Amino acid sequence: MAHFEEPLKEVIHQYKYEFIKALKDDLAHLAWPYLEDFPKNSVLTCVPSSPKRLAWRGYNQAEEIAKILAHQCGLKLESNLLKRTSYKTPQTQLSRKERFKNVENAFGADKKKNLKGKQVIIFDDLVTSGATLSACAKELRKMGASRVWGLVLARNR
């Protein structure tokens, strides 16, 4: 994980907000070495986008990178383990305390999926407070995951 500063900050921004999808390969290349130490039977998933963001962007940026990572590392990708059940204010506009409150009950688990005893890696492009990853991990543990890790490209201060 890198610090969210230039030039990585600009690359992530271009990928997410200027829709330069070709950057996903380079971003996946940055994360790939960190997956080598995870057990090969781990399940890889990603933070789900809200329907509003998905419609606006046309893709889930974390899922696009996770697809590449799963292929490169031979991991099973299950990008639909979680879904957004509510979407309020974008996290970028909130304080640390507000971020945790904002994502309470914002994610739901696919009740048909059983993760009993499985180890799951949640991928996202950026972490600031950890609120989103924590909320996702909580749902994955409800599904039976024995261990949940977060993997991100960058950490914002």
Read off the pTM: 0.91
Can you give the pLDDT of all 157 residues of the chain as single tens digits?
Answer: 688 899 999 999 999 999 999 999 999 999 999 998 888 899 999 999 988 889 999 999 999 999 999 999 999 999 999 999 887 777 877 888 888 888 898 999 888 888 999 999 999 999 989 999 999 999 999 999 999 999 999 998 7
Q: Which of these CATH numbers, 3.40.718.10, 2.70.98.40, 2.160.20.10, 3.40.50.2020, describes 2-155? A: 3.40.50.2020
Q: Can you give the pLDDT at residue 76?
A: 93
Query: What gap in Å lies between CA 99 and CA 129, rounded to an integer?
Result: 7
Q: Can you give the pLDDT at residue 90?
A: 75
Q: State the residue for tokens 């889930």.
A: 60
User: What is the number of other CB atoms lying within 10 angstroms of the CB of residue 145?
Assistant: 24
Q: Do the Cβ atoms of 152 and 137 come closer than 8 Å?
A: no
- Residue 28: enclosing H or E segment and its boundaries? helix 23-35
Q: Can you give the pLDDT at residue 1?
A: 66
Q: Can you give the pLDDT at residue 72?
A: 92
Query: What gap in Å lies between CA 148 and CA 35, rounded to an integer?
Result: 13
User: What is the number of other CB atoms lying within 10 angstroms of the CB of residue 95?
Assistant: 10
User: What is the number of other CB atoms lying within 10 angstroms of the CB of residue 103?
Assistant: 24
Q: Can you give the pLDDT at residue 36?
A: 85
Q: Do the Cβ atoms of 150 and 93 come closer than 8 Å?
A: no
Q: Can you give the pLDDT at residue 37?
A: 84
**Domain coordinates in residue numbering, the chain:** 2-155
β-pairing, 82-84 vs 107-109, is antiparallel
